[in-house]
Amino acid sequence: MVAMTAGAPAGASAVIALGEALVEVMRPGAGQPLDQPGTFVGPLASGAPAIFAVAAARLGLAAGFAGAVGDDAFARLLQARFEQEGVDARGLQTIPGQSTAVAFVAYDERGGREFVFHLRHAAAGAMQAEALDPAFFAGVRWLHLSGSTLALNEGSREAARRALALTQAQGGKLSLDPNLRPELLPVDEARALLAPFLAAATLVVPTAAEARALTGATDDEVAARSLLAMGAQVVALKQGSAGATFYTQDETVAAPGFVVEEVDPTGAGDCFNAACVYGLEQRWPLAQVARFATAAGALAVTRQGPMEGAPTAAEVQALIQQNGEQRR
C-alpha cells in the first residue's frame, strides 16, 4: 500500500513537477573520481524535478511535487526540505520495501560530471500512476517533466502520462526538459520516448547539444526550429556560460551569459527552467523572460549543493540590475 505525504500547504499549486526525488552524495572538489576511496559531502536533497519545484517556490510560484520515496532517513530529509521550502508535497508517495534514490557525483577539472545512480530500482522508479490524486492537480497551470524521469521505466512514463492528462484537463501546460541521461537510457531510445511529450509541450528547455541529438540537426537554430515544428510554442536553448537563445515561431532572442564564480553547476538548468515558467506566468516579453532565466541559471552555480543555489526573484533582479550598471 502506498502512503501519501500529509501536512501540505493550503491552496492549489500553480506549478507541479513530477519525477525523481533523491539524495545526492558528492565529491567536495574536482579531480576526485568515484572509483577511488575518498571523502564525500552529503546527503543533499536533489533530483532534477525536485530541484525545479524548490526553485519555482523560491521565485514565488505556488509549487507542488509528485514522486516516490522509501520509508527511510533519506525520505525524511527530502520531506523536511520540501516543507522548509514551501513546496506542496502531497503528491509524494512512500513505497514500502523500497529505499529512497541516491546519486553519487564527482567532477573533473574541465567541469564535467560523473554519476553513479541508484534510481531505477529505488523508490523513484516505483511511482504508481494510479496513486496520483486528481485533487492534487486542481487548478494547476504548469506541469514540469524531465527526460530523466521518462528514462526510468514504463511505470514512470505511465505516471507522467497520467499527470499530463490531469494537467490538460485543468487547461494547464507542459514544460519539458529533455535531460538526456545516457547512464539511464541510450539517446536513440530516449528520442522515441520523448516524442509524444515534445508534441504536447508548450515550453521545451533543452541544452543545445540535446536539441541537436533529439532532432538530428547539426545547427542549433535548425534544431530549435525543428522542436517548434513538433509542437512547442517556446524553445529555450541552454548554452552554458554563453547564455541562452529563445525561439518562438515569430521571435528569436539571444540572452548572453552572466560572469559569476562557478562553485557547483548541479541544478543550474533546473533553476533556469523554473525561471522560464515564472517569466511566462508573468506574461513578460520573451526578451525579459530570457534575461531573467539566464540570470537565475547563473546564480545557481555560485553555491555548492543541488538546491542551495536556487535564487529568489529579488536576487535574480539584483544580478540583472548590477550587470546593467556594469555595462554603462
Residue 326 has pLDDT above 50, yes or no: no
Instruction: Determine the residue type at 294.
Output: T
Q: Look at residue 108 in the predicted model and tell me its pLDDT.
A: 83
Between 113 and 269, name the one with better pLDDT: 269
Residues 147-168 have a mean pLDDT of 95
CA-to-CA distance for 197 and 216, rounded, in angstroms? 18
Q: Which of 134, 206, 197 is nearest to 160 (CA)?
A: 197
Residue 109 has pLDDT above 90, yes or no: no
- 272 in Cβ contact with 237 (< 8 Å): no
Q: Look at residue 7 in the predicted model and tell me its pLDDT.
A: 44
CATH code linked to domain 3-327 = 3.40.1190.20
User: In this predicted model, what pLDDT tens digit does every residue of 33-58 receive, in sequence order?
Assistant: 898 999 999 999 999 999 999 999 99
Between 30 and 140, name the one with better pLDDT: 140
- Omega before residue 43 within 30° of 0, cis: yes
Name the pLDDT band for 314 (thresholds 50, 70, 90).
very high
- 213 in Cβ contact with 180 (< 8 Å): yes
- 177 in Cβ contact with 206 (< 8 Å): yes
Backbone angles phi, psi at 234, to 5 degrees: -135, 130
Show the DSSP H helices in the chain as ranges.
48-59, 73-85, 147-150, 154-169, 187-200, 208-215, 220-230, 268-281, 286-300, 313-327
Q: Look at residue 3 in the predicted model and tell me its pLDDT.
A: 56
Q: Which three cell numbers stand for residue 150?
A: 521518462
Element (H, E) at 63: strand 63-69
CA-to-CA distance for 120 and 151, rounded, in angstroms? 9
The predicted model scores a pTM of 0.92
Q: What is the DSSP letter of 35?
A: T
Residues 4-22 have a mean pLDDT of 75
Q: What residue segments make up the domains of the chain, in order of their start?
A: 3-327
- The single residue listed with the C-alpha cell 555548492 is 304
User: In this predicted model, what pLDDT tens digit does every residue of 191-225 receive, in sequence order?
Assistant: 899 999 999 999 999 999 999 999 999 999 999 99
Residue 246 has pLDDT above 90, yes or no: yes
CA-to-CA distance for 96 and 37, rounded, in angstroms? 32
Close Cβ partners of 245 (under 8 Å, ≥ 6 residues apart): 220, 221, 224, 236, 237, 239, 252, 253, 254, 255, 290
In the chain, pLDDT over 90 holds for what percent of residues? 79
What are the residues facing 50 on neighbouring strands? none
Looking at 172-176, 186-190, 196-200, 233-237, which range is the least confident one? 186-190
Residue 112 has pLDDT above 80, yes or no: no
In the chain, pLDDT over 70 holds for what percent of residues? 95
Cβ neighbours around 113 below 10 Å, total:
14
Name the pLDDT band for 5 (thresholds 50, 70, 90).
low
CA-to-CA distance for 205 and 24, rounded, in angstroms? 23
CA-to-CA distance for 235 and 224, rounded, in angstroms? 6
253 CB burial (10 A radius; 0-12, 13-18, 19+): middle
Residue 95 has pLDDT above 90, yes or no: yes
- The single residue listed with the C-alpha cell 516579453 is 285
- 93 in Cβ contact with 67 (< 8 Å): yes
Residues 75-101 have a mean pLDDT of 96
Residues 289-317 have a mean pLDDT of 95
Q: Look at residue 263 in the predicted model and tell me its pLDDT.
A: 84
